[in-house]
A = this chain, B = another copy of it.
């Protein structure tokens, strides 16, 4: 039995890391994927409208939606046979992207645009600023308070 040890990532031997971030980007990292998911999350379920709001071309969007469906992130619901027509909805995996989207959007608000076009107001009435806390102890989670271990 080896006690799990904290690891300094930079000390590991070179080589592509087995990494959940890389795995996530494999599915989500292509252009348009996250924008399409943003729209579906906003309640825009039809192909042409998703294309319209994201700016993606039809072929790109069709490709991304196929991949997202194959990855279990969106599901297609048939709303017309002849011709077959689908609505796109988030699965649980898709809904759980909410923290990712929110984090990216908040970062973009702060660092990638002059002034945000949209404000997200929390039900408490204030504009949302998110804090990350540990589910177990309730204390803040920061770069300094988490320590990677090899599984």
Residues of chain A whose beta carbon lies under 8 Å from any beta carbon of chain B: 4, 6-10, 12, 14-29, 31, 34-35, 38-39, 41-44, 49, 52-55, 71-73, 93, 95-113, 115-124, 126, 128-137, 139, 141-143, 145-151
Known contacts A15-B52, A54-B16, A132-B132; is A96 also within 8 Å of B119 by CB? Answer: no
Question: Which of B29, B107, B139 has a CB less than 8 Å from the CB of A100?
Answer: B107
With A10-B43, A98-B143, A121-B148 given, name 18 new contacts (CB 8 A). Answer: A14-B53, A16-B53, A19-B35, A20-B105, A20-B118, A22-B54, A24-B108, A24-B112, A26-B112, A29-B34, A99-B99, A99-B106, A120-B148, A122-B136, A122-B145, A128-B134, A131-B132, A131-B134
Known contacts A55-B16, A116-B20, A122-B145; is A111 also within 8 Å of B129 by CB? Answer: no
State whether A108 touches B44 (Cβ < 8 A). no
**How far, in whole Å, are A131 and B139 apart by their CA atoms in the complex?**
10
State whether A49 touches B99 (Cβ < 8 A). no
**How far, in whole Å, are A59 and B112 apart by their CA atoms in the complex?**
25
**How far, in whole Å, are A49 and B14 apart by their CA atoms in the complex?**
7
**How far, in whole Å, are A108 and B139 apart by their CA atoms in the complex?**
23
State whether B119 touches A137 (Cβ < 8 A). no
Nearest B residue to A145 by beta-carbon distance? Answer: B123
